[in-house]
Amino acid sequence: MALLITDACINCDECEPECPNEAITEGEETCQINPDKCTECVGHYGTPQCIEICPVDCIIVNPLRVEGPDALMAKYRVLMGME
């Protein structure tokens, strides 16, 4: 699963530096997550760091990008140049 930042985002930029895959960018009104780079921190941490740091709890699972643990690990391996 890739994550998604909802419209409740206050664009505080707390999550962007926490993302090990550099999947989060600051948008005009809200931060955004690139689903092609988001691994929910699989391969890096045990939990998604953006969710841990978000002060308004606006990060959810993207219903359009449901991926299992194996798919997230495969994406991590590609992003890290392991495959």
Judge residue 7's burial from the number of C-beta atoms within 10 Å of its C-beta, 0-12 exposed, 13-18 middle, 19 or more buried: exposed
Total domains present in the chain:
1
Q: Tell me the whole-structure pTM to 2 decimals.
A: 0.91
Instruction: Give the residue numbers spanning the domain of 39.
Output: 3-79
What sections of 1-83 are H helices per DSSP? 49-53, 69-79
How many contiguous H segments (helices) and E segments (strands) does the chain have? 2, 4
> CATH no. for residue 70?
3.30.70.20
Asked if 43 contacts 80 with a C-beta cutoff of 8 angstroms, the reply is: yes
14-50 tens-digit pLDDT: 999 999 999 999 988 999 999 999 999 999 999 999 9
Assign 83 a pLDDT band (cuts: 50, 70, 90).
confident
